[in-house]
């Protein structure tokens, strides 16, 4: 069953934070790409924080992505994305997009959570429907992230 939750230990140094966040961000961005290519993203909600004083200078807060399989055409039901704080060297960009889709065509449904903004990394992915019907490449990508993330520590 796909139901992964991971929280790293708090980072001891800023160098460790920069290194670990970059590694995890690669995994996160890779999954966003793979899941988006093989399915359809129907929800994204996250805040991107840019802070020139704290390495790696860009953080993801409270990200939630939901994907349906197989892919289908969607329309934007709601887009509440905005920049709420933008000063020299610091910004917050809130992204929130909800898409309408045909629920009768959904065979599988995944939710992924990610946050690297609180001095540690939090990651989760869960099959909400039809795990056994996920495309093979999705299950493989999730397994690879799980293996690279939890055995390297």
Return d(Cα 78, Cα 42) in angstroms, integer.
11
Give me the number of domains the chain comprises: 1
Relative to beta strand 90-100, strand 75-79 is: antiparallel
Closest CA to 13 of 119, 114, 152: 119
Task: List the chain pLDDT tens, one digit each, 153 residues.
Answer: 789 999 999 999 989 999 999 999 999 999 999 999 999 999 999 999 988 888 788 899 999 999 999 999 999 999 999 988 778 788 899 999 999 999 999 999 999 999 999 999 999 999 999 888 888 899 898 888 887 765 444
Structural domain including 145 reads 3-150
The pLDDT of residue 54 is 81
Return d(Cα 99, Cα 80) in angstroms, integer.
12
Task: Copy the structure tokens of residue 146.
Answer: 């799980």
Buried/exposed code over 96-108 (b: 16+ C-beta within 10 A; e: otherwise): eeebebeeeebeb
The pLDDT of residue 150 is 58
């Amino acid at each position: 069953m796909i139901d992964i939750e991971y929280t790293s230990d708090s980072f001891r140094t800023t160098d460790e934070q920069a290194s670990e966040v970059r590694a995890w961000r690669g995994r996160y961005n890779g999954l966003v790409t793979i899941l988006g290519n093989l399915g359809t993203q129907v929800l994204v909600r996250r805040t991107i924080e840019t802070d020139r004083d704290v390495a790696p200078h860009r953080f993801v807060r409270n990200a939630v992505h939901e994907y349906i399989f197989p892919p289908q055409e969607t329309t934007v039901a709601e887009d509440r994305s905005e920049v709420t704080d933008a000063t020299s060297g610091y910004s917050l960009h809130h992204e929130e997009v909800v898409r309408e889709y045909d629920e009768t065509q959904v065979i599988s449904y995944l939710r992924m959570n990610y946050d690297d903004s609180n001095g540690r990394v939090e990651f989760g992915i869960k099959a909400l429907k039809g795990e056994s019907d996920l495309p093979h490449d999705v299950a493989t990508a999730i397994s690879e992230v799980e293996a690279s993330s939890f055995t390297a520590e």
